[in-house]
Amino acid sequence: MRNAGASIDPPTDPFAAIPLPAPPESGGKAGKRGKRGAAEQRSETSDQADDGDRKLPPGVSPDIFGGLDSPSESAGGADSGGGSKLPPVPLPPQPWPTSGPPERRHPVPLSAPVTGAMEGDPAFSGGAPVQIQMPDPPPRRRGRGPLLTIVCLLILLALAYLGPAVYMSGAILPGTTVAGVDLGGLTVTQAAERLREGLDERSKEEIAVRALSVPYEIKPERAGLELDVVGTIEHAPSGFPDPIEVWRGLTGTTVLEPEIAVDSARLLEAVEDLAKKIDRPVREGEIRYSGVRPRVVEPRDGTALEQNAAAEAIKDAYLSEQDGPVQLPITVVRPKIDKKEFKEAAAMARAAVAAPITLSTGARRARLMPSVLAANLTFEPGESGGLDPVFNAKAALAAVESRLVDPAKAPVEAGYDIVNGKPKLTPGKPGLGVDADELAAAVEKVVQQGGSRTIRVSLVEVEPRVGAAEVRKLGIKEKISEFTTQHPCCAPRVTNIHAIADILDGHLVKPGETFSLNETVGRRDTARGFVPAPQITAGRLVNEVGGGISQFVTTMYNAVFYAGLKDVRHTPHEFYISRYPAGRESTVSFPQPDFQWQNDSDHGVLIKTGYTSTSITVSFWGTKRYDTIKAVATEPHSYTDFTRETDDKPGCIPMTGQRGFTIEVTRVFFNGGKEVKRDAPVRTVYRPETDLTCGPAPTETPRPNSGR
């Protein structure tokens, strides 16, 4: 049976490339039935091979060629006479050769069975089915085009990076700026020089700051701030750049902040100086007495510069490009007691001095006058949150304790007597005194809760304020200053001068202690020998108990001046009094104004007083610190004219008119004949003294009628 349809193409004969075996010598059915073309083919094949080498290709049955004897034929089987044969054994899959060079050939698998004989091919005349198994196709190779493209692209990118990178290497990356100074493309040395030149003026500009809406300026040098050129350049990108840096150098900029060198000690010192200008201490409210009238000083918030944060803000602002001054951080400090509490305490303060408080020891009695209470009564924040009264009993007793204690039983203070011009130690001894702590508690209870204003005090044994051993260590060995003023004899004021001189004679002031005349002497009263005498009040002479003691105070002020001790508070007279040195005098009243000075030496100061009917002398004993102290005064200047007045009221004291003026006095210190220091000048401005006439005002004489 022949294969239907056209022959397979290509090739027409699928076995044309396979050499066929030579026909057998005995001849067979194939030789008889074969066509001439097949015989010629076999003949050509047989000419190319020996009979002994005649073999079929692997897997090809001899029956397909018709020229080989099968075993059945040689055995004389049923088919030997031309009957039907068994189907041939299937061939194993064979590759289908393709045309072309050997290295480009690819076997093509044939898996479909082929049945019947091909036209013109005697091998297929028997009609036996033929199966050709073709192998699976090999995996298809990918094309090399995309890979080559990628390699080329990578080479181009490498060249695009390496070219600029080599050009940029060894210098600072292009586009690099510091505070507006372009450093791109420069070497490190060149960049450092340009940075110094570019920021030289700017680095010296003052830093503008602001606190509580007040502007201030800080010099960088004073604050220990300067440009760190080396530290800044170290942060600049240089060397061989990476791809990102190359891209940034070609397309963008690199902005660096300048590095700052900071001297922390100098910066904090500058901030502390600034804080002195900015800080405002919190003002705790208080109640002060003006005479016996309480006056409330309301509390006020304080402010404090946050110094550590301010230092950081100033450092950050240096060489920065921010607009406007730097706002410094400020803390508000609140007072402990608010205004409401002081309003309530003011009512308490008024009631406290509404009447005297009487002290009693049984047979002896003394009164604390409202003025004494006012001078020694304060109000402080209490544990409950309000204001509690605090009474200084020791100071208040200075004026009245002698009335409550028998002088023979009172303690004797250790001190010095001056014998033959030298100080001699006198030991003290204990005695009886008022229990000051108990008295303070009792007065505070009366002020806070009210009730009886008579207090029974206790007498206890008290030690002298200063013992002999302590006095001996004070270094009192020589006179350090002395001053004397003159006065007319026998006036009432002289009695008062002598009374206060007796009270203060032998008083010791310890090193560092501040002497207060009003606290030490107390209110001047008749019980201790003071009498009414003229004193200046509101520009007029009026009679007051203790009047005239300003001459003693002026004498002591000059002793302080020439001893080189510190003047704490003094108040000149309203107008100049010719018996005192101009610009070196002071007045007092009780409770204010007071006269205070401080023993700022390392040794004690002993006060000694002496007087005659026409003079008063105050001398200080201790250890000298200066050879000489001089007063340098300007000429009086800036004169102001006086006015004339007439007063017909009772108690009028006439006054002689004189001009007012201004004068400055400077204290100069010498050691070894050389000036060692001088105080700031003390300016005194005297008002003109009114020319006062006591009596009725003169009447004007009527002018004669002119007839007009």
Residue 12: pLDDT above 60? no
498-527 in b/e burial notation, b at 16+ Cβ within 10 A?
A: bbbbebbebbbbebeeebebbbbbbbbbee
- The DSSP output letter for 63 is G
Residue 617: pLDDT above 60? yes
CA dihedral sign, ordered 364, 368, 372, 378: positive
Identify the residue with better confidence: 406 or 248.
406
Residue 32: pLDDT above 80? no
Q: Structural domains in the chain? A: 29-131 (no CATH), 141-334 (no CATH), 340-467 (3.10.20), 474-694 (no CATH)
Model confidence over 433-447: pLDDT tens digits?
999 999 999 999 999
pLDDT at residue 514, as a whole number:
94
Distance CA 268, CA 253 (A): 36
CA-based R_g, the chain, Å: 64
Query: Tokens 């001899």 — which residue?
Result: 62
Per mean pLDDT, which range of 42-51, 143-152, 397-406, 476-485 is the poorest? 42-51
CB 57 within 8 A of CB 95: no
Q: What is the DSSP string of 288-311?
A: EEETTEEEEE--B-EEEE-HHHHH
Q: Predicted confidence band at 83 (pLDDT cuts at 50, 70, 90)?
A: very low
Q: What is the mean pLDDT of the chain?
A: 80
pLDDT at residue 60, as a whole number:
55
The pTM (predicted TM-score) of the whole model is 0.47
pLDDT at residue 446, as a whole number:
94
Identify the residue with better confidence: 708 or 189.
189
pLDDT at residue 178, as a whole number:
85
Q: Could you give the maximum distance between any two Cα atoms of the chain, in Å? A: 206
Amino acid letter, residue 551: Q
pLDDT at residue 417, as a whole number:
86
Which of 139-143, 489-493, 681-685 is predicted most confidently? 681-685
Q: Predicted confidence band at 190 (pLDDT cuts at 50, 70, 90)?
A: confident
pLDDT at residue 478, as a whole number:
94
Identify the residue with better confidence: 239 or 531.
531
pLDDT at residue 69, as a whole number:
45
CB 687 within 8 A of CB 654: no
Q: What is the number of other CB atoms lying within 10 angstroms of the CB of residue 66?
A: 21
pLDDT at residue 538, as a whole number:
66
pLDDT at residue 48, as a whole number:
44
Q: Predicted confidence band at 700 (pLDDT cuts at 50, 70, 90)?
A: low
Rounded to the nearest 5 percent, the helix, strand and coil shares of the chain are: 30, 25, 45
Query: Tokens 């700022």 — which residue?
Result: 600
pLDDT, average across residues 466-488: 90
Identify the residue with better confidence: 541 or 367.
367
Model confidence over 498-520: pLDDT tens digits?
999 999 998 889 999 999 998 88
pLDDT at residue 114, as a whole number:
46
Model confidence over 110-157: pLDDT tens digits?
444 444 444 444 444 445 555 555 666 666 665 678 888 888 888 887
Model confidence over 223-234: pLDDT tens digits?
899 988 888 888
pLDDT, average across residues 333-339: 83
Identify the residue with better confidence: 665 or 287.
665
Residues 6+ apart with CB under 8 A from 221: 204
Q: What is the number of other CB atoms lying within 10 angstroms of the CB of residue 434?
A: 23
Residue 85: pLDDT above 60? no
Per mean pLDDT, which range of 93-97, 253-257, 364-368 is the poorest? 93-97
pLDDT at residue 251, as a whole number:
78
Residue 334: pLDDT above 80? yes
Identify the residue with better confidence: 253 or 349.
349
Distance CA 649, CA 657 (A): 19
Distance CA 568, CA 556 (A): 13
CB 70 within 8 A of CB 64: no
> Which residues are paired to 49 by β-bridges?
none
Q: Predicted confidence band at 702 (pLDDT cuts at 50, 70, 90)?
A: low
pLDDT at residue 45, as a whole number:
44
Distance CA 72, CA 65 (A): 16
Identify the residue with better confidence: 37 or 252.
252
Per mean pLDDT, which range of 161-175, 214-228, 415-429, 458-472 is the poorest? 161-175
Residue 315: pLDDT above 60? yes
pLDDT at residue 381, as a whole number:
81
